[in-house]
């Protein structure tokens, strides 16, 4: 019973963490998330580039990235001849 409880707790924690990654974000939250990811991966963080990425993704220019705006762009299918 204890194992089942622990498994449930771990699964719920994973679901919550995943949901938090895909919640609407403002510019400050976007920068903080990208900076943390860069530090975690041992990469250099470029704030100016990160701001540019935010502005490109913010399609409705409301200062908030919705979940849909955060989704990676899908590659275009090759044109049929």
pLDDT digits (tens, 9 = 90+) for 17-27: 454 457 999 99
Helical packing angle, 47-57 and 27-40, nearest 10° = 130
Tally of helices (H runs) and strands (E runs) in the chain: 4, 2
Q: Whole-prediction pTM value?
A: 0.62
Strands (DSSP E) along the chain, which ranges?
25-26, 64-65
- Low-confidence spans in the chain with pLDDT less than 70: 2, 4-21, 77, 79-81
Exposed/middle/buried for residue 51 (C-beta within 10 Å: 0-12, 13-18, 19+)? middle
């Amino acid at each position: 019973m204890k194992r089942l409880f622990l498994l449930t707790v771990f699964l719920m924690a994973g679901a919550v963490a995943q949901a938090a990654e895909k919640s609407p974000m403002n510019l400050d939250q976007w920068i903080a998330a990208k900076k943390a990811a860069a530090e975690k991966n041992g990469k250099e963080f470029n704030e100016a580039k990160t701001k540019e990425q935010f502005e490109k993704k913010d399609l409705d220019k409301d200062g908030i990235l919705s979940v849909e705006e955060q989704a990676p762009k899908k590659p275009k299918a090759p044109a049929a001849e």
